[in-house]
């Protein structure tokens, strides 16, 4: 294992002080899977105050739960005392934390066997629940009594499904049945935590595992609106597999109108940028696209972002591809090229790049704010039809002619 020198140093210092120290959980799992861990959790039998005494620079991250952040070379590493969780009162938080001196007891409270493995250079792997073998067999299995693990922390059910989609692993039968039986408990978890797991799930390599939400009925308790995606599932999965992962949420909600989509995304407490972008995709999802340069510029004007129009076309292309409608595929391809041509030729499709401004209109006597806005729109419409007329002199002459005609 290519363990960072700072992590090795922390474990060595703990050992020199008479304590144990292991890397644990996701980082060990990732090493066994051949991935480079993103972060490292360290566990020890040292009490929080001992950890603070051993290292010069520490932060009390979650000291009541035994976690101290050790800062080495301006990097943060969480070091947590072995612990046993007390009774869980809300399917999420233990009523109390009991510190332990045994690594096996600490591992016994974790969610899945693949995450209940510890390692250090001297002792090698500590794997009391057969996590290494389960990783080898590509199986997700609850630690000990899966039913108890999910009642302790209901989010673990979503994590299990998400891990299955990320790794392509199967969920062991008893663990799967425990998820089905406890699915309703997910209601006790904050929507932000559920949302994060769901988004990771739909952006995973094994998106076909999305049906685990339907088989366990988990989706009914946080996002019942996605039920239609499970109908004609093979077709929908093919589309999802071929889509940019950031577009999958929009496709999953594409049977809804933009108002309902906005309500759902606000309920999931997503950021405003994602809400706005997804709403726009939904708005134009059933739009009758025409292969015409002028129409493409007008669409760019309406949508505002070339990249967003491209995303809509990507979804439409994937749908047409699975329907074997090669004519439609070619059309969307050509419109995509028209967008690139508009950008390459620096053609105007918004007021930002229009050759005249409100100040130019004031100079010729148009001072009313509403009149300025309407006049700029008239000039922009001309440029959308004839991009070569995006010239200050030409547009001012055109504007004067339009005003003269109106009077």
272-307 residue pLDDT tens: 999 999 999 999 999 999 999 999 999 999 999 999
User: Residue 150 pLDDT more than 90?
Assistant: yes
pLDDT digits (tens, 9 = 90+) for 226-274: 999 999 999 999 999 999 999 999 999 999 999 999 999 999 999 999 9
Please give the full DSSP string across 33-83, using - where no structure is assigned.
HTPPPS--EEEESS-HHHHHHH-SSEEEEEGGGTEEEEEETTEEEEEEE-E
Residue 55: which region, alpha, beta or left (left: phi > 0; alpha: psi -120 to 50)? beta
Q: List the one residue out of 238, 10, 89, 188 whose CA is nearest residue 24.
A: 10
Residues 143 and 270 in one domain: no
Contact 130, 144 (CB under 8 A): no
Higher-pLDDT residue of 326, 62: 326
- Residue 89's pLDDT is 65
Percent of the residues in the chain that have a pLDDT greater than 70, as a whole number: 97
Whole-number pLDDT of residue 93: 61
CATH number, residue 67: 3.30.460.10
Long-range contacts (CB closer than 8 Å, 24 or more residues apart) made by 192-198:
192/269, 193/155, 193/158, 194/155, 194/158, 194/222, 195/268, 195/269, 195/270, 197/155, 197/158, 197/159, 197/161, 197/162, 198/158, 198/162, 198/222, 198/223, 198/268
Cα dist from 51 to 59, 72, 289, 302, 363, whole Å: 10, 13, 63, 59, 72
Residue 384 carries which DSSP code?
Answer: H
CATH (domain of 149)? 1.10.110.30
Structural contact between residues 69 and 77, judged by C-beta atoms closer than 8 angstroms:
yes
Tell me what the pLDDT averaged over the chain comes to. 93
Identify whether residues 198 and 270 lie together within a single domain: no
pLDDT of res. 2: 85
Q: Mark whether 88 and 21 lie in a shared domain.
A: yes
Confidence at 91, pLDDT banded by 50, 70, 90:
low
Comparing 90-94, 106-110, 174-178, which segment has the lowest mean pLDDT?
Answer: 90-94
Q: Is the pLDDT of residue 83 over 80?
A: yes
Number of domains in the chain: 4
Which pLDDT value is given to residue 87? 64
Please report the pLDDT score of residue 187 as a whole number.
Answer: 95
Are residue 87 and residue 204 in the same domain, yes or no?
A: no
Residues 18 and 68 in one domain: yes
Residue, of 8 and 405, whose pLDDT is higher = 8
Domain residues for 92? Answer: 1-137
């Amino acid at each position: 294992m290519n363990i960072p020198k700072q992590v090795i140093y922390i474990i060595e210092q703990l050992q020199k002080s008479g304590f144990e120290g292991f890397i644990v959980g996701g980082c060990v799992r990732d090493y066994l899977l051949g991935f480079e861990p993103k972060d490292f959790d360290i566990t020890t039998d040292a009490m929080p105050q001992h950890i603070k005494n051993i290292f010069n620079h520490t932060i009390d991250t979650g000291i009541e739960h035994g976690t101290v952040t050790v800062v080495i070379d301006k990097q943060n590493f969480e070091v947590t005392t072995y612990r046993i969780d007390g009774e869980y009162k809300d399917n999420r938080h233990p009523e109390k934390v009991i510190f332990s001196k045994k690594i096996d007891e600490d591992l016994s409270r974790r969610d899945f066997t693949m995450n209940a493995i510890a390692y250090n250079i001297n002792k090698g792997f500590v794997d009391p629940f057969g996590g290494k073998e389960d990783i080898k067999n590509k199986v997700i299995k609850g630690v000990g009594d899966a039913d108890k693990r999910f009642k302790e922390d209901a989010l673990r059910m979503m994590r299990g499904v998400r891990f299955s989609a990320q790794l392509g692993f199967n969920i062991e039968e008893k663990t799967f049945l425990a998820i089905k039986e406890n699915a309703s408990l997910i209601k006790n978890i904050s929507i932000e935590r559920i949302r994060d797991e769901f988004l990771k799930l739909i952006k995973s390599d094994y998106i076909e595992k999305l049906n685990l939400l339907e088989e366990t009925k988990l989706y009914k308790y946080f996002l019942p609106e996605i039920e239609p995606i499970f109908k004609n599932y093979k077709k929908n999965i093919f589309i999802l597999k071929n889509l940019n992962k950031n577009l999958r949420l929009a496709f999953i909600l594409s049977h809804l109108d933009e108002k309902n989509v906005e309500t759902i995304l606000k309920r999931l407490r997503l950021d405003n940028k994602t809400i706005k972008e997804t709403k726009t995709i939904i708005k134009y999802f059933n739009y009758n696209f025409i292969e015409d340069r002028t129409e493409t510029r007008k669409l760019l004007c309406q949508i505002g972002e070339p990249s967003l129009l491209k995303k809509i076309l990507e979804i439409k292309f994937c749908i047409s591809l699975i329907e074997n409608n090669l004519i439609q595929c070619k059309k969307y391809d050509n419109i995509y090229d028209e967008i690139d041509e508009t950008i390459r030729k620096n053609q105007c499709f918004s007021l930002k790049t229009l050759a005249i401004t409100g100040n130019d209109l004031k100079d010729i006597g148009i001072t009313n704010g509403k009149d300025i806005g309407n006049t700029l729109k008239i000039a922009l419409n001309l440029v959308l039809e004839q991009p070569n007329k995006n010239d200050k002199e030409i547009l001012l002459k055109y504007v004067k002619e339009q005003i003269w005609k109106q009077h």
